[in-house]
Amino acid sequence: MAKRKVRTIRFTKGERLVYLSAIVATVMTFVLQVFCSANVGNLNMNIEGLRSEITAQTKKNESFAMQISELTSFDKVKEVVKEMGLAYNNDSIVIINE
């Protein structure tokens, strides 16, 4: 029996460069994908935090608006006028609409 010759595959420098570039590009794609996913997750957490702050501030604003409407009611004005010892004259009140 004749011995089989083992053929070795030799790549040229250009082929090695192409294959190495493809491998590096594939690895960098995966790394970039993981990095971007983490960044998107971080941004989503920040957005949810801001939404909760906006909700809390909206509730505060509504509470203040209710307090303002209570303090500017005619009953409260009459009470303050009596406490200050002034006379309440309904004819001299001017209502301004915005």
Sign for the CA dihedral angle at 52, 58, 64, 66 comes to negative
Number of structural domains, the chain?
1
| Domain membership flag for residue 42 | yes
| Domain membership flag for residue 68 | yes
Q: How confident is the model at residue 9 (pLDDT cuts 50, 70, 90)?
A: confident
Beta carbons of 54 and 60 less than 8 angstroms apart: no
Question: How do residues 13-70 score in pLDDT, each as one tens digit?
Answer: 899 999 999 999 999 999 999 999 999 999 999 999 999 999 999 999 999 999 988 8
Structure tokens at 13: 């420098």
Q: Rounded to two decimals, what is the model's pTM? A: 0.55
Structure tokens at 40: 């998107």
Q: Could you give the CA distance from residue 77 to residue 88 in angstroms, rounded to a whole number?
A: 9
| Domain membership flag for residue 81 | yes
Domain that holds residue 52: 13-86
Q: Which amino acid is present at 84?
A: M
| Domain membership flag for residue 5 | no
